Amino acid sequence: MVPKSPEDSPYYFGTSDLACVSTKGRLHLTKRSVKMESENNRTKRAAPQRHTMSPTHRWIYFRGNFFEWGTDAGSKTRLFGLLNDAKSYSVKSVLPFNGEKCDWMMEPVPAGYSSVSLECIVGCTVNYKTLTGDYSLLNNNCHHFANTISMVLCSNICPDWCQQIL
């Protein structure tokens, strides 16, 4: 996907070591890597999606922030959604959730470009559970969240459900 205007910012899919994220840094299975290739490798395509059953924790990186859902950030619950509450999301500007302890990787080529505001994507992240319901390993996991955010970013329109904190 190629930017349509100078206001468009790239966004990336990324993953974190699922075993590490779910054990709060006690178990590691992958190596950390952050590599961004030249933006000359862009191709035009539909809203990018990723497989929803990958054994990783997936997130979106956009305008200097990591957007995640299905973590236990700020909640008393665990990664796999047991008694999940509305605080099972994370918006961080330095590293992804548990990034200081856990290996993580950002895809080297932008998944797309968007002019959607940062406030809109924060609203989408905060309201995601209200829209989709509790975390489900098979039907509503971090990959579903990342795919939904990708669709919003590619649409370049902030949906109503993202415009106010529900």
How would residue 151 be classed by pLDDT, with cut points 50, 70 and 90? very high
- What tens digit of pLDDT does each residue of 52-84 get? 777 888 999 999 999 998 876 544 444 444 444
The pLDDT value given to residue 72: 66
Q: pTM for this one?
A: 0.78
User: What was the pLDDT predicted at 38?
Assistant: 37
Q: Which residues of 10-26 are buried (b: 16+ CB within 10 A; e: fewer)?
A: bbbbbbbbbbbbbbeee
Neighbours of 83 (CB within 10 A): 11
Q: Which tokens belong to 123? A: 């609203």
pLDDT digits (tens, 9 = 90+) for 90-126: 888 889 988 888 889 999 999 999 999 999 999 999 9
**What pLDDT was estimated at residue 117?**
96
Contact 41, 109 (CB under 8 A): yes
